[in-house]
Amino acid sequence: MVTLGQLWARRELALEIAVDPVGARSREVTIVHSSELPEVDEWLAGGEVLLTIGVGQDLTADSAGDYIARLKRVGVHALGIGLGRDLPSVELPPSLVDHARAHDLALFGVPEPVPFVAVVDAFTRMREEESNREVSRAGSAGRRFATALARQGPAALVAELSAALGSEVHFVSPTGRGLTGQNAPADVRAELIAEAVGTSLAPRLLRAAGGRYEAVPIGDDRVSGWILAGRDAAVASRTRGLLLATAAALLGLSVIDQPLSRGESTLFSTTLSASEARAEWVLRTGTPALSRAEFTIVGGVRGDGAEQLFGDLGGGTLTARAGSMIGVLHSGDPLVARVAEVTGVDRLFVKSLPLTQVHHTWTVWRTQNDTVNSDVRALLSVIDEAAAVRFVEEVLGALLASQDGQDLLVTLRSFIASGGVRDAVAAELGIHRHTVRARLQRIERLLGRDLSRPDTVHAVAIALELAEL
C-alpha cells in the first residue's frame, strides 16, 4: 500500500504541508485525482487524495467550510491545493487552513511549477513499485510453502502461511473438521457447511463470535477443504490474496478426492450385544464408549453431496446408505441437522436409541423402502403395453439406438440404483470415476435431459423399469 506520508515525502514534489492530523500519514491512499466540481463528494468512495485549484469552489468563501466537511465525511484522506501566480491562490488561504484543522482533514499545497499530473504520476509509480514488491514477496513465500509441504506436509505449510500473514490460519475439511489441527469453531463450521454445497469457488468472508474469517475453498469442481484465515492480517490486501491463492493451490495437491468408503459399521448390519456394540462404536469413531446414540435417518437423497458431508463431520459420527436414504448415528452433534438443512434432504427419523437397536431400526426402514420400490414395479406392470413401449422409446430411444448403448444403459441403471452417487457407480462397474462422468455426459446428450433434475431421474427410472417388464 501507499500511505499519505509516503506521498508527502517525495522530494521532487516539494509539497507544502499545512494541516497534519494525528495518524493521517499512515492512512492508505486509494487514488490521487483532481476535480473542480463543487459537489465532488458525490463521486468519491473514500481513501482519496483530492487535488484542486479552486475554480468551481471558492476556497476563501464561507462555503469552503462546508466543502471541507463534506470531503471529510466521505472519507477523503487529504486535500491538495494548486498554488501559483496564474492560479486563484498563491498561498493557502488562512480560512481554509482553519476549516481543515476544525474538521481534522489533512491539507497541503502543490507549489508552482509542480503540475497535478506530477503528483498523480508519483503516486502511480509508488503503487506499481509496491505491487512489484508484493508479487516478489508472494513468490518467495510460495517457494517456502512448496518446500514446507514437500518436506513436512500440510501442517508445515499452514504454519508458514500463518507467519506470512501474521494471523491465525486453519486447514479444515468441507465441514470445518481440522485437517492439520483443531476443528473450526462450531458457528464457523455451520457456515462452512452451507457454503460447501454452493457452486462458487470464490473466497468467502465469514462472521462468527470469535471474529471474522476469510474462507478460501480448495478443490476444482467442488469444495474438498478450506483455508480459514483471520481478517486481522498485517499485510496488504493484494499480497494477502496472492499468499492465500498460492497456499490453496498447493494444499489442493494434498487433498485426494477419493471415493466414499462403503464399509459401513456392523452396528447397521448386525445384531450386537451391548458390549459388542460399545466396542464397535469405540473402534469406528475413536471416541469414548457409550450405550446410546442419536440415530437420524434422512430420505430423498440425490447424488453423493449429502453423504460426503455427513461422512466428513468426523469423530462420533457413523453413516450408512441404502438407495436414497442415509442413516447417521452420532452423539448428538447439531451439525447433523445443519447438513440435512442445507442439502435439502428429508429427516424421516430422529431418535436416541441404545446401540443394540440400531441394526433393527435401520433394517425396518430399509425394508419399507424396498417395499415401496416393489409396489412401484407392481403398479407399472399393469400399464398398457403399447403405451409403455411408446414411453420407453420417447425417454430412452436415442440411448438404446446408439452404438455404445449397452455400456451406457448399464451405467445409467447403476446411477439410478445408487441414488446418483458417481463413486458408487465406478466401484460397482469397476471403471474410473472420470469414465463414469464422461458416460453420464454422453447419456444426457442422447436423452436431451439433465440427470441432476429430480423429474428427469423419475422419468428415466420409470422408463428403465418398463423396459425390464
Does domain 151-256 correspond to CATH entry 3.30.450?
yes
Give the span between the Cα atoms of 353 and 357, in whole angstroms.
6
In the chain, where does the domain assigned CATH 1.10.10.2840 lie? 380-468
Q: For position 260, what pLDDT does the model report?
A: 45
Fold classification of 4-114 is 3.40.1390
Report percent pLDDT > 90 for the chain.
50
b/e map 177-209, b = 16+ CB within 10 Å = bebbeebbbeebbbbbbbbbbeeeeebbebebe
Residue 41 corresponds to which cell in the numbers above? 463528494
Question: Beta strand pairing status for 169-172 and 204-208?
Answer: unpaired
In the chain, where does the domain assigned CATH 3.30.450 lie? 151-256
pTM above 0.85, yes or no: no
Return the minimum-mean-pLDDT range out of 90-99, 174-183, 254-263.
254-263
Q: How confident is the model at residue 259 (pLDDT cuts 50, 70, 90)?
A: very low
Residue 93 clears pLDDT 90, i.e. is over it: yes
In the chain, where does the domain assigned CATH 3.40.1390.20 lie? 4-114
The CATH number of the structural domain formed by 380-468 is 1.10.10.2840
For the chain, give the mean pLDDT: 87
Q: How confident is the model at residue 257 (pLDDT cuts 50, 70, 90)?
A: very low
